[in-house]
Amino acid sequence: MTMSERIYTAGLVVIGDEILSGRTHDRNIAQIASWLQVQGIRLSEVRVVPDVTARIVEAVNALREGYDYLFTTGGIGPTHDDITVDAVAEALGVPVVIHSEARAMLERHYTGIGKELTEARLRMARVPEGADLIPNRMSGAPGIRIGNIHLMAGVPHITAGMLDALTGTLEGGAPLLSETIGCWTPESEVSDILRQVEKAHENCQIGSYPFFREGRVGANFVIRSTDADQLRSCVDSLCDGLATAGFDFTPGGI
Amino acid sequence: MTMSERIYTAGLVVIGDEILSGRTHDRNIAQIASWLQVQGIRLSEVRVVPDVTARIVEAVNALREGYDYLFTTGGIGPTHDDITVDAVAEALGVPVVIHSEARAMLERHYTGIGKELTEARLRMARVPEGADLIPNRMSGAPGIRIGNIHLMAGVPHITAGMLDALTGTLEGGAPLLSETIGCWTPESEVSDILRQVEKAHENCQIGSYPFFREGRVGANFVIRSTDADQLRSCVDSLCDGLATAGFDFTPGGI
């Protein structure tokens, strides 16, 4: 592992009035972020936009060009407010077409339960021209992949199934490693130590995350690096610094 | 209430490597979105960016100009990774100064517990020049308000205290009202009804949110409008449409 190693990045566009209204708590940001970490890809930006075509097009174009990969969540179902496929097609300047494999999947499914493949149901087979399907074992509706863009479901456990199907298929770099040290002390007491230790380890970042629990204040310090040796050295320096200054700390975090 | 009534909008910049790494599940988007709804302000866009000054500056400038109000969460503590104040000052082209009232609050606090106001602790009194404080009852550290920008904490219950302090102080419009109808049926079965009912009520939006529970599929339909009468009329039409087509539904949602 060298410092010149390429860093792979991703953007995420969360599409949904229900997130912006506060009605639904988003769970896809954390889920996709964690999954990307394991693939060696860093989630670098998220935008949450409403169910408005122009707004989706703008966000998709900004993030697909800015990062190696783009993910979207939401808006790929069969109803009138599901406009993600149309918006992504518009962003790419390609038409929307019926995907033959998706159509065949829907036909098998509806024939199996003795129903007709109506136009409404066929909406779920619409893709931007040139797209592939991302299968998922959780439901019949597939995700969609076109270029560096991955269209995922809004329902978190369906998205989980699609991420499963994508595991190992995206090129990534060294995963970002992290270790956590917890301290029952206000972070302002140790800010000088944190700053000095981070400065002395240029390939590591230290994040400080304060908390208030059981009537006491404390903070977790998360040390991140793509290099295991440098991470270890930084963690050791931080522990030494805290011990020398007389602070108790908890390896692994609090 | 008239249709020409002004709609007030807000943007939110969530600052934090811990959200983008998947380590922390964001809870501020839903909290701020719900609070804004009650103030008659619509959350129109969220961007999650890393702890990198240039990225914060870019997001702050895009959203403070695009919406009536801008909120940020995270990065206002005393440690080296707390760079929100500096980034917002840079975005606005003003210097960072020590706020005299914030300094006095910190002096009282540390004198009271027999400690000195060190430079590290004094960091918590830094604000972009011209800013006011947003008090909160949950902790000593205040939020910061400058122009249309509101800098809030990253820790959700501290942000809750700051939102409390801001309640009723921001000019808003008519709150967006909503009603929910639930149905134990795949949304593709009722997509035509949803589309037609929404089309017939131009000041209402209908969102369809599918779910999978207890081995069955269903969906909640959320009807939104700023006009109570039109909302009522749209809900009645949707219930009529569902009943006529033979679907059971649950007012209030499932």
Q: What is the pLDDT of residue A90?
A: 98
Q: Assign residue A211 a region: left if phi > 0, alpha if psi is -120 to 50, beta otherwise?
A: beta
Q: What is the pLDDT of residue A78?
A: 87
Q: What is the pLDDT of residue B140?
A: 65
Rounded Cα–Cα distance for residues A103 and A117 (Å): 9
Q: What is the pLDDT of residue A1?
A: 43
* 8 Å CB contact of B20 and A44: yes
Nearest CA to CA, how far is A18 from chain B (Å)?
Answer: 8
Q: What is the pLDDT of residue B139?
A: 67
Q: What is the pLDDT of residue B1?
A: 43
What are the angstrom distances between the C-alpha of B211 and each of A123, A159, B83, B182, B184? Answer: 18, 13, 40, 10, 9
Rounded to 5°, the CA angle B45-B46-B51 comes to 150
Rounded Cα–Cα distance for residues B24 and B177 (Å): 31
Q: What is the pLDDT of residue A145?
A: 98
Rounded Cα–Cα distance for residues A240 and A233 (Å): 11
Helix (H) or strand (E) holding A239: helix A228-244
Per-residue pLDDT of chain B (254 residues; tens, 9 = 90+): 444 578 999 999 999 999 999 989 999 999 999 999 989 999 999 999 999 999 999 999 999 999 999 999 999 988 999 999 999 999 999 999 999 999 998 888 888 888 888 888 898 899 999 999 998 777 667 899 999 999 999 999 899 999 999 998 999 998 889 999 999 998 889 999 999 999 999 889 999 998 888 778 899 999 999 899 999 999 999 999 999 999 999 999 99
Put simply, the chain B residues between 96 and 115 with a CB less than 8 A from any chain A CB are none
- Residue among B100, B43, B48, B55 nearest B73 (CA): B48
Q: What is the pLDDT of residue B49?
A: 98
The residue in chain A having the minimum alpha-carbon distance to the alpha carbon of residue B211 is A155
Listing DSSP states for A50-65 in one string gives -S-HHHHHHHHHHHHH
> What are B13's strand-pairing partners?
B47, B72
**Contacts with A138 (C-beta within 8 Å, 6 or more apart), sequence order:** A157, A158, A160, A161, B212
Q: What is the pLDDT of residue A29?
A: 98
Residues in chain A closer than 8 A to B123 (CB atoms): 188, 191
* 8 Å CB contact of A17 and B205: yes
Nearest CA to CA, how far is B242 from chain A (Å)?
Answer: 15
Contact of B196 with chain A, judged by CB distance below 8 Å, is answered with no
Q: Which amino acid is at A126?
A: R
- ipTM of this complex prediction, to 2 decimal places: 0.88
- Residue among B173, B174, B237 nearest B200 (CA): B237
Residues in chain A closer than 8 A to B209 (CB atoms): 18, 24, 154
* 8 Å CB contact of B78 and A22: no
Q: Which amino acid is at B55?
A: R
Q: What is the pLDDT of residue A191?
A: 93
Rounded Cα–Cα distance for residues A33 and A17 (Å): 21
The gap from C-alpha A4 to its chain's centroid, in whole angstroms, comes to 24
Nearest CB to A45 within list B22, B43, B48: B48
For residue range A187-208, list pLDDT tens digits in order: 889 999 999 999 999 889 999 9
Q: Alpha helix locations (H) across B21-170?
A: 28-38, 53-66, 84-92, 100-112, 119-122, 156-166
Residues in chain A closer than 8 A to B32 (CB atoms): 22
Rounded to 5°, the CA angle B210-B213-B215 comes to 115
Domains of chain A: residue spans and CATH: 8-166 (3.40.980.10), 177-251 (3.30.70.600)
- Intervals of chain A under pLDDT 50: 1-3
Length of chain B: 254
Q: What is the pLDDT of residue A139?
A: 67
Q: What is the pLDDT of residue B2?
A: 46
Q: Report the greatest alpha carbon distance in chain A.
A: 74
What are the angstrom distances between the C-alpha of B94 and each of A188, B90, B130, B132? Answer: 25, 6, 8, 14
Q: Which of B49, B178, B188 to mutate to test the interface with A (most CBs of A within 10 A)?
A: B188
Q: pTM of the prediction?
A: 0.89
Residues in chain A closer than 8 A to B206 (CB atoms): 80-81
